[in-house]
Amino acid sequence: MRKHLLLTAGIAASLLLARNIWVMLTQLPDEAFQGAIFRIIFFHVPAAFTCFLCFLASLIAGLAYLKTRKLGYDAFSVSVIEVGLAFGAVNLITGMIWARIIWGIWWTWDWRLTSMLICWLLYAGYLVLRRAIEEPTERAKMSAVMSILNFSVVPFVFFSIKWFRTQHPQPVLFGDGKMDSGYRAMLYGNWAPLLIVAAILISIRYAQEKQQREIDALRREAHMI
């Protein structure tokens, strides 16, 4: 049943993505100043949204774990962080490709780039911490604490680095930047398939984590015999 659901969702996401890419390439005109490369924004921005949604989910899962001590929340937390990091990487890499063409450089220490990279490193640290702890409940506890500390520092990272000068385009949705409604519809329209892909990946990782726990329990039992 779960397998069928995932398969259906996967097919839906692929169809939606194929349709979006077709519309992007054939229907939407080139942007006046940037030309063809601007289309990368339809992946760049939704990937960042997905990434931070995942980090937020990990905060909630961390709090829920500390409250209930159910290891399922821990499994969920690590799944969303791994997927969040993947989407964060998509955001960083698409941004670098865009920057290479528009700015002429792969990387610049602009606040948005820098703060995204720091957030990415923060959550990469979470995964490194997990690897270093063997005992499952200990690992879950420390990871939950780490996800709370990590998420609390994210606003600080953003505000502090924002006070440096910036050359990143203004936020098009909540900031001063302007965006044509056709483009805006595509931005949200392309977020949907990316969210579905994220949900599928999280669901697969979650199942794997649960399986891992069962294997560990069986192994311990075998040792006792």
Partner 1 sequence: MLFLRQTFTVTAKDLRSELRTKEAVNASLSFALVILILFSFAFDPTSETTREIAGGLLWLVFAFAGVLVLNRSFARELPNDCLEALISSPVPGAALFLGKALANYVLLLAIEVVCLPVFGVFYNVTWYSQPGQLALVLVLATWGVTVVGTVFSALTVNLRLREVMLPMLVYPVLIPCLMAAMQLTTTLIAGDPIAGDQLAWLRLIIGFDIIFTSLAVLLIDTVLIG
State the residues that interact with partner 1 by CB under 8 A.
66, 118, 121-122, 125, 128-129, 132-133, 137-138, 141-142, 144-146, 148-150, 152-153, 156-157, 159-161, 163
Nearer to partner 1, 30 or 138 (CB): 138
Residue 131 CB, shortest distance to partner 1, in Å, is 9
Greatest C-alpha distance within the chain: 72
Residue 198 CB, shortest distance to partner 1, in Å, is 23
Identify whether the C-beta of residue 50 lies closer than 8 Å to the C-beta of residue 191. Answer: yes
Nearer to partner 1, 62 or 193 (CB): 62
Residue 70 CB, shortest distance to partner 1, in Å, is 15
Nearer to partner 1, 61 or 197 (CB): 61
What backbone phi and psi angles, to 5 degrees, belong to 60?
A: -65, -40
Question: Among 45, 56, 16, which residue's Cα sits nearest to residue 152?
Answer: 56
Q: How far, in Å, CA of 82 to CA of 59, rounded?
A: 13
Residue with tokens 């006070």: 163
Nearer to partner 1, 45 or 140 (CB): 140
Nearer to partner 1, 66 or 204 (CB): 66
What backbone phi and psi angles, to 5 degrees, belong to 218?
A: -65, -40
Three-state SS for 149-166 is HHHHHHHHHHHHHHCCCC
Residue 88 CB, shortest distance to partner 1, in Å, is 14
What are the structure tokens assigned to 98, written together?
Answer: 């865009």
Nearer to partner 1, 16 or 127 (CB): 127
Residue 76 CB, shortest distance to partner 1, in Å, is 18
Residue 67 CB, shortest distance to partner 1, in Å, is 11
CA angle at residue 122 from 205 to 44, to 5 degrees?
A: 70
What DSSP string describes 82-93? HHHHHHHHHHHH
Residue type at 223 in one-letter notation: H
